[in-house]
Amino acid sequence: MERTSKKPLSAQIRTRANKEVPAEKQYDGNFELMISTGSTLLDLAISGKRKRGGGVPAGILLEAFGPNGSGKTVLLCELAGSIQRAGGSIMFNDPEARLNKQFASMFDLDMSSVELHEPDTVTQVIDSIRKWTPSENAVHGIMTDSLAALSTTMEMDSEDGDKMGMRRAKEFSEGLRKICRVLKQKNYIMACSNQIRDNASTMGMGESFSVPGGKAIGYYASVRLRFHTPEKIRKEKTVGGKTVKKVKGVKTKVEVYKNSCDAPYRTADLYIDFAYGIDDIRANLQYLKDYGKEKFYHIDGESLGISIETAIEKVESQNLEKKLKDAVIRKWEEIENSFHVERKKKVRV
C-alpha cells in the first residue's frame, strides 16, 4: 500500500522526480524590508510587480550563477554596500581570498566592519552563519563568493571523487535547509555566486547546464539569477594624435531564472564599469531610449543629447539620478501592464 504524506498539500512541493522538497525554498521574502542590487532594471526584474521599484526582499537566499567575468562578484559587493548603507552588518565568505579594500571601496563597502572569512568547506560556511549574531536591528547580509570554490576544495581532498561528490551534495542540502530557516527568522539576505558547467550528455532532456553543489541550491534559493556571456564595452580616445581603444567594462544580460518573489524569466541588462561598478545611469538611459519614441537620450522626452557619454555627464552634473530612475520605473510598469489581461475567476467543475 502506498504511503501518503501527512503534510498539507500546500507543503507538498515536488520535483520532476516526484521527491518532496521542503517548503522553505519557496519563501518569497519580507517585502517590508527591501534592498537594492544597485541596478534599477534588475530590482524591477526581481520584484517590480510585488513592490514598486522592486529589489531583494529580506529573509531569502539568492544565487547568481554564470561564466567568469560576467559580474557576479560585483553584484554581491553592490548588495553588501546597499545593506551597509541601510544600517546592516555584512559577513563575507571569500574562499578564493580575492576581495580587497580598493575593490570594495567602489561599492561604499567598509571592510573594517565586515566579518571576513576564507572558508575551505561547505560545513565551515554553514557553521559560521549559524553562529553569527550581529547586534544591529536591521537587514543583515551574508555573501559567499563562490560556492564553486568550496566544491573544488573538497574534491581535491578526496581520494574517491564520486563518493565525495555525493557527500558534498548532501552537505549542501542539509546545510541550506537549516540556513534558510535562519534567514527567514532573522531577515538576513544570503547571496552566493556560482559557476556554470555544460552538461554534455543531456540527450535533449533536462537542462543543458549545471552548477556546483548538486541540486540543493536550486531547491532552496528563492531567487536564481543567470548571468549570460558578457559583451565588452569599449571606449575610444585620441591621445597624441592617435586613436586608442580600451575595454572599460562589460554588458551582461541577467535572467531571473527562478523567482519565488515575483514572476520568473524577466531579464535585465547590467552595465559594469571596471572602475565604477554597476553603471545604473548608463543602463537607465539606454532603456528609455530603446523603449521610447525619441532617437536621442532623454528623461520624459527632455533631450540629453545623442551621445550616451554626454547624457551621463548631464545626469550627474544636474543631479537627475532620481528623476531618471523614476522615469525608468514608470516605463517598466507601462510595459508590464500592457501584458496584463483580466481573467474571470476559475469555475471549479
Q: How many C-alpha atoms does 35 have within 13 Å on its Cβ side?
A: 33
Distance separating alpha carbons of residues 281 and 311, to the nearest angstrom: 9
Residue 141: closest CA among 81, 193, 96, 98: 81
Residue-wise pLDDT tens digits, 68-112:
999 999 999 999 999 999 999 999 999 988 888 888 888 989 999
Residue-wise pLDDT tens digits, 246-279:
999 999 999 999 999 999 999 999 999 999 999 9
DSSP secondary structure string, 101-122?
HHHHHTTT--GGGSEEE--SSH
Residue-wise pLDDT tens digits, 3-18:
444 443 333 333 333 3
Distance separating alpha carbons of residues 332 and 325, to the nearest angstrom: 11
Q: Which three cell numbers stand for residue 195?
A: 559557476
Residue 260: closest CA among 65, 117, 59, 84: 59
Distance separating alpha carbons of residues 49 and 68, to the nearest angstrom: 31
**Residue type at 71?**
G
DSSP secondary structure string, 294-321?
-SSEEETTEEEES-HHHHHHHHHHTT-H
Q: Which three cell numbers stand for residue 225?
A: 539569477
State the CATH architecture for 19-278. Answer: 3-Layer(aba) Sandwich (3.40)
Q: For residue 211, what are the contacts with CB-CB under 8 A and spacing of at least 6?
A: 63, 65, 147, 148, 194, 195, 196, 197, 217, 218
* Burial annotation 84-113 (CB, 10 A radius, 16+ → b, else e): bebebbbbbbbbeeebeeeebebbebebee
Distance separating alpha carbons of residues 180 and 187, to the nearest angstrom: 10
Domain boundaries, the chain: 19-278, 280-339
Residue-wise pLDDT tens digits, 280-328:
999 999 999 999 999 999 999 999 999 999 999 999 999 999 999 999 9
* Measured CA distances, 311 to 89, 197, 236, 265, 319 (Å): 35, 39, 17, 30, 12
* Sign of the four-CA dihedral 79, 85, 91, 94: positive
Residue-wise pLDDT tens digits, 178-226:
889 999 999 999 999 998 877 655 455 566 777 876 688 889 999 999 9
Q: For residue 177, what are the contacts with CB-CB under 8 A and spacing of at least 6?
A: 22, 24, 220
| Burial (Cβ within 10 Å: 0-12, 13-18, ≥19) of residue 248 | middle
Distance separating alpha carbons of residues 36 and 46, to the nearest angstrom: 10
Distance separating alpha carbons of residues 111 and 94, to the nearest angstrom: 13
Average of per-residue pLDDT values in the chain: 86
The backbone torsions φ and ψ at residue 190, rounded to the nearest 5 degrees and listed phi first, read -110, 120
Helix (H) or strand (E) segment spanning residue 287: helix 280-290
